[in-house]
Amino acid sequence: MAKFPIEPFRIKVVEPIKKTNRQEREQIIKEARYNIFNIDSEKVYVDLLTDSGTGAMSDNQWAGIMLGDEAYANCRNWKNFERVLKEITGLKHIIPTHQGRAAETLLFGTLVRPGMIVPNNNHFDTTFANIMEYGGDPQNFVDEPGKDTEIFHPFKGNINIPKLDTFLAANKERVPIIMLTVTNNSGGGQPVSMENIRQVRELADKYHKPFFFDACRFAENAYFIKTREKGYENKSVRDIVREMFSYVDGATMSAKKDGMANMGGFVAVNDDWLADKLREKLILKEGFLTYGGLSGRDLEALARGFEEVLQEDYLEYRIGQVRFLGELLEEAGIPFLKPTGGHAVYLDAKKIMDHIPQNHLPAQSLVVELYKQGGIRSVEIGSFMFAVPDRQTGEIKYPALELVRLALPRRVYTNSHLFYVAEVIREIYGYRHQCKGMKIVAKGESSLRHFVAELEYIE
Ligand X SMILES: *Cc1c(COP(=O)(O)O)cnc(C)c1O
Q: Binding marks (x or -) toward ligand X, 245..284, rule CB under 6 A?
A: ---------x-xx-------x-------------------
CB of 124 to ligand X, least distance (A): 3
Contact call for residue 121 and ligand X (CB under 6 A): no
Contact call for residue 286 and ligand X (CB under 6 A): no
Residue number with CB closer to ligand X (181 or 383):
181
CB of 2 to ligand X, least distance (A): 27
- Beta strands 403-407 and 344-348 are antiparallel
CB of 311 to ligand X, least distance (A): 21
Site for ligand X in 143-182 (CB under 6 A): 181
CB of 267 to ligand X, least distance (A): 11
Residue number with CB closer to ligand X (209 or 405):
405
CB of 65 to ligand X, least distance (A): 20
d(CA 196, CA 398): 27
d(CA 83, CA 328): 41
d(CA 372, CA 108): 39
Stretch that binds ligand X, among 66-74, 94-102, 393-401, 402-410 (CB under 6 A): 94-102
The residue within the footprint of ligand X, chosen from 100, 146, 296, 326 (CB under 6 A), is: 100
Residue number with CB closer to ligand X (179 or 388):
179
d(CA 55, CA 257): 8
d(CA 318, CA 56): 13
Site for ligand X in 208-227 (CB under 6 A): 214, 216
Partners of 403 in the β-ladder: 348, 381
Residue number with CB closer to ligand X (67 or 452):
452
The residue within the footprint of ligand X, chosen from 25, 29, 52, 260 (CB under 6 A), is: 52
> What distance separates the 2 farthest-apart alpha carbons in the chain?
60
- Least Cα distance to 253 among 135, 154, 126, 155 occurs for 126
Question: How far is C-alpha 356 from the geometric centre of its chain's CA atoms?
Answer: 27
Question: How far is C-alpha 221 from the geometric centre of its chain's CA atoms?
Answer: 12
Q: Which residue is nearest to ligand X (CB)?
A: 100
Contact call for residue 185 and ligand X (CB under 6 A): yes
Strand spans (E) along 29-151 = 46-47, 93-97, 117-120, 137-140
d(CA 350, CA 149): 10
CB of 254 to ligand X, least distance (A): 3
Under a CB-based contact definition with an 8 Å cutoff, are residues 224 and 241 in contact?
no
d(CA 116, CA 66): 45
Contact call for residue 127 and ligand X (CB under 6 A): yes
Stretch that binds ligand X, among 36-44, 63-71, 96-104, 380-388 (CB under 6 A): 96-104
d(CA 361, CA 456): 11
Q: Which residues of the chain form contacts with ligand X (CB under 6 A)?
A: 52, 99-101, 124, 126-127, 181, 185, 214, 216, 254, 256-257, 265
